[in-house]
A and B are shown apart, each in its own frame.
Chain A
Amino acid sequence: MMLRASVTAIALFSVVLGLAAAGEARTVITGTVKSKAGQPLPGLALLEKGEIHNNVWDRGALVDANGRFTIELAEGGQYGLHVYSSGYIYSPQAVRVETGKTLEVTVTLVPEPTRANDPVITRAGFFPWEERRAKVTFVKLEVSDPNDDLGPQVLAFNAATGRVYAMDPPRKVLHLKANFPQGVYQLGIDSSQAPIKPRDWYFVVADHQCNTTDILSFPHEPRPPRVIR
């Protein structure tokens, strides 16, 4: 009788331990970004939640100097992984991550053969705005595109929170495959709890032909893009 009770107790304890371990298992996308020559590339890895190109942006991460990134997710499922590095054409890739597991990917980027067709970020700024009880900071980005075929990827990434945002276009766009307008894009961020730290913010823009700007980081002073040989 005693033995049976002990076995039951041990079995129950094991189940509880197992459930706890399962509960702790992280859901992660991690990977390496490199050039065709195998050189590690720094940049940004940004995720859409659900089907790729749905413009529902979720989490992201900085890609370090060794070309490594890790994004922890709240849940598994389908995501659109977009990887950017200055001077390179961005890479989109649909991925599927199992809850509680780690997906490892390798991303190879190719350089922009010319920068003449790339969108350009001409200005970025942060503008606090108070209205009665709410406190909002508007993040603004001025974008131009020589081909006039901007897509919805006018993106802001907050490295402190890991959040990715598609910025609002200057005027309404009928659908995501339409050409988005050039001009000032903006994003309203709730800064009632804490002020925005510009140092945390990164910006990148891609057009419908995948032409991609350099990543704009603090102090957000655009520089002429260069062709990587």
Chain B
Amino acid sequence: MHASAELAGPSRRTRPRDSAASWPLADRIGLGLCWAAGVTLTLLATAIVLYMGVKGISQLHLSYLFQHPTADVDQSKSGGFLDPIEGTLLLTAIGTAIAVPIGTGVALWLVEYGRPAPLARTVESAVEIIAGAPSIVIAVFGLVVFSQPAFAFLSFRATGADAAFGRSFVIAGAAMSLLALPLVVGAVREALLQVPNHLREASLALGKTVGATIRRVLLPAVRPGIATGTALGMGRIIGDTAIVILLLGNTLGTESADGGLPGFRLLRGTGSTLTSYIYGNSPAGEGGAPEKAYAAAFVLLALVIALNVLATRLARGNLSALTGGAAWTR
């Protein structure tokens, strides 16, 4: 049937659909407030991004990305922030390397086995507690534990003291992994719950064990979920400052510890990240170098935004990949 020529549609309307012009005053004020709030929020976000962008670009010299920082009061000689960038990358690598396998494993256990039930609930609660704990508290956890002399191999032992220094890349990285862990567990769990049951049943019906099913069927199916969780976790790690300040030793440059294997020396060493560098250069830290702080903040913000866009893309891809993939089997 074709549309009749006399169909006039909305143009005939003399009163548009529920226009606010007819509402009582109180309702119109309410609508106005809604608009004001929405517009304010958008302006706020735009202002933050624009301000950081403009300030950052005006202060950023490309050379900063490749120069080592020096502790010089004269800003033109204080170098760039290569070491903080190194620190950020290293911590993120350590944190995700620990969090992703463990998080995926825990999520798998929770969804595919989860027996006995009280144990599963307790594990879930523990992950919830970690998810809700502020990063400063996790940093304190790390400090309390790793200050014990038993853990001196992870940092170094201050001469004459009965405590380990308690701060190093590997310690900070381990603490960071706790930040990322709940995000990975959550994302992988979501992905697992979306895998249709008939895939599992088909594998089991062929005589495979649950373990093999996990390896061959489920892990490939939840790869997008693992990727989403990883991106989310990385975003959180990169943006965190409290753990860095408490657990990384706050040296401007990356400094390896003495003794031991070469690679391990770096892990046991101290350093800084973009976030602690920004904090240190602001009036709250030693102060004095807001220009460098803006430049570093620009790089940091760009990184975090890029990761978040990636995470959103992956999450959306998650959905279509799973439903699209399963559709042909119905």
Same complex for A and B? Answer no
- Which B residues lie at the A interface, using CB under 8 A? none
